[in-house]
Chains A and B, each alone.
Chain A
Amino acid sequence: MDLTFSPQEIAFRDELRGWLAANQPDAAPVDGGEDAQYQWRRDWQRRLYDAGWAAPAWPVEYGGRGASLTESAIYYEEIGRSRSPLAANTLGLLLGGPTLMVWGTDEQKERYLPPILSAEEIWCQGFSEPEAGSDLASLKTRAVKDGEEWVVTGQKVWTSGAQYSKWCMLVARTDGDVPKHKGLTYFLMDMEQDAVQVRPLRQITGEDEFNELFIEEARIPDANVIGGVGNGWKVALTTLMNERAGLGFALQIRLRQLLDDTIAVAAERGLLEDPVYADELAELHTRCESIRLLAWKGLTDVERYGQPGPEGSLVKWLWSDTNQRLTQLAVDIVGPAALTAGTSWSYEFLRARGNTIEGGTTEVLKNIVAERVLGLPRLKVAV
């Protein structure tokens, strides 16, 4: 056991920390709503890109730094620590790029990877549907071959950044006659066509972070199939496995910062000496540290032994639960300001409700833990 970073990892961290200190992003725009926010994050990615910091985990040949898993985690920790925004094209960087690297042809990689990195072309993810959430493989969006093209019709939901995106990672059914996982194909769909309508989906926070896609006979050239016709489930799993890998470290640092902010307010108001609040804050402090340890343990076990431990699903579950508990406690500590619309405190606790749903609901995570880690039998449900 050695819970320190190697000299090389420390050098990586210090270089990035130095760069972030010297290249603070501009202050977040106050006016202009979502569009201005998005442009701000796009400008930020451009700066990261120019300095070679957009996707350190990508191999050098694709414009990354070939960073190790540990370095990549350090990267997201430092992004979080410096309170920098996430890059505009985070889905392309974290999900789309790595998926293409595994499944894409040389032509596809050459064509699509560079503009992901530079934020010239933004990517979004068209997986979930109104009737296919946790049961993703039951999705109904259909793609039918028509000469050298596919004609796609269906509806997608929870597509963040769709209004800014050029490309959509789309999973559609290309064969209805085989068991549900087998008839799927993974496409790269051009969002700039009339057959794709993007409608904002307003969340409980009042903002439109997500969208719905209405797809009515959209056209996708055959060359935009990723990983082969009928292989969509496997390709989608590659995307999903990348979903939390790095981002978890940024989220974990944000949780830490929010806890520190809450502790500071509690201290100001003398609540740290109040045993009721002290007990709960100490519990959250302990959970926050447990999350950090479990996240690092999961990552370094993969790096060193090639075997993920049970930590992966546990970290997301524990993080989402802890963030909800913390933001709710903050309401008690901060008081009326946390229940006033438009404050950061009220935003945090409202947004936290989504944490136990997005990226795998807690219920699904518990199923995964029970079945794949503990080996418990799966309840057979009527299909």
Chain B
Amino acid sequence: MDFGLTDDQREIQRTARELLAERARPDRVREHAEARSTDEQLWKELSELGWPGIAIAEEHGGQGLGQIELSILCEELGRSLAPVPFLGSAMAATVIQQDGSAEQRERWLGGLASGATIGALGAAVDGTAELVIGGREADVFVLIDEDGSGRILGAEEADVTPVDSVDPTRSTARVSGAGEPVGDGGACAGLGRALVSVSSELVGVCDRALAMTVEYVKDRKQFGVPVGAYQAVSHRCAQMLLETEKARATAAFAAWTADADPEALAEAAAMAKVCASSAAREVTASAIQAHGGIGFTWEADVHWLYKRAQLDAALLGGAKRHRARLAAILAERVGAGAAA
């Protein structure tokens, strides 16, 4: 048993972190957030590096790597809050790859892998998906209906209304339209992987919020000592680490499951989303609190994390919804045990 990354995976993580530390610096993220604009230059660069196609099959022009590698990139992009439409595009590609017909895969995956096509994925209620992340610039939408089935809509056939969300580091839109069913129109198995990708992004958000907070409370002095020396503050930070590590462990397990033990993915993905959604809300809220007054200002960067956390926590269902799914799995298991 080994929870560590392989050398190759470590290398992906290292280069991604270094690149984003340089290209998605806080001041640049702020600039785009305040303008509510996508960093097209960065998206182009990431596309040239093959990021959008990391988990897309080689036959469609991707790198053919697994969910673990995709999750590594999601985590780093979450950490940096890079204003690029990566997550939505990756989730849309995941579902098309996993559940789409041969024709749909052929039509969309090449562009999604190269980054020339931008995808977005949203959950629809009564046919309409609200706050679809990356909705403004997407070329193709995957909408998931209440029964878990999906629809694919090219941008030209979709009804797209840009709506500003609280998170200005990414665009959002209301999307509806008929489109065509994904694959045979059944429930999309690719959603499990999509949940893992969001959870991984949230792990990055948590990790960054914690790191910023630790740095701040070591430095900030009140009553003559760093505030991080007070247990009311340091124990809050310890709690942030606990939540972050829970989210990290469950997301890593789910990512591994996606490739190695797909039958266990539904449960593992639900657990990952439960942990990541609640961790992200708590950890980023704690980050604001531990920053004190400055944390509540527009000037400090912690609120971008808090806002990204809120959107991602709700994306494809929050902790409560996934706990309900887990309870249903537990009930089934008890039923099966009783029947056996």
Q: Which residue of A lies closest to B6 (CB)?
A: A1
Cβ A297 vs Cβ B330 within 8 A: no
Let me know if B241 is at the binding interface, CB within 8 A: yes
- Which parts of A168-193 form the interface with B (CB within 8 Å)? none
Cβ B330 vs Cβ A3 within 8 A: no
Cβ A2 vs Cβ B274 within 8 A: no
Cβ A278 vs Cβ B238 within 8 A: no
Chain B residues within an 8 Å CB radius of A310? 241, 245
Cβ B1 vs Cβ A375 within 8 A: no
- A297-329 near B? 1/0 per residue, CB < 8 Å: 100110011000011001001100000000000
Let me know if A383 is at the binding interface, CB within 8 A: no
For A286, give its contact among B241, B260, B323, B338 (CB under 8 Å): B323
- A359-383 near B? 1/0 per residue, CB < 8 Å: 0000101110111011111111000
A367 to B229, CA, bound (A): 10
Which of A32-40, A138-146, A287-295 touches B?
Answer: A287-295
Using known A-B contacts A279-B324, A377-B228, determine if residue A1 contacts B237 with beta carbons closer than 8 Å: no
Cβ A283 vs Cβ B238 within 8 A: no
Cβ B334 vs Cβ A272 within 8 A: yes
What is the interface residue range for chain A against chain B? 35 or more
For A279, give its contact among B245, B260, B320 (CB under 8 Å): B320
Cβ B327 vs Cβ A282 within 8 A: yes
Using known A-B contacts A282-B324, A370-B235, determine if residue A376 contacts B217 with beta carbons closer than 8 Å: yes
Let me know if B4 is at the binding interface, CB within 8 A: yes
Using known A-B contacts A294-B249, A366-B231, A376-B228, determine if residue A267 contacts B1 with beta carbons closer than 8 Å: no
Cβ A378 vs Cβ B237 within 8 A: no
A275 to B214, CA, bound (A): 37
Let me know if A352 is at the binding interface, CB within 8 A: no
Let me know if B5 is at the binding interface, CB within 8 A: yes
Let me know if B59 is at the binding interface, CB within 8 A: no
Cβ B1 vs Cβ A70 within 8 A: yes
Let me know if A338 is at the binding interface, CB within 8 A: no
Cβ B275 vs Cβ A314 within 8 A: no
Let me know if A48 is at the binding interface, CB within 8 A: no
Chain B residues within an 8 Å CB radius of A300? 1-4
Which of B96-104, B106-114, B250-258 touches A?
Answer: B250-258
A-B interface, 10 closest residue pairs, ranked by CB to CB distance from nearest: A278-B327, A370-B234, A282-B323, A282-B326, A369-B238, A293-B249, A376-B228, A366-B238, A379-B229, A297-B3
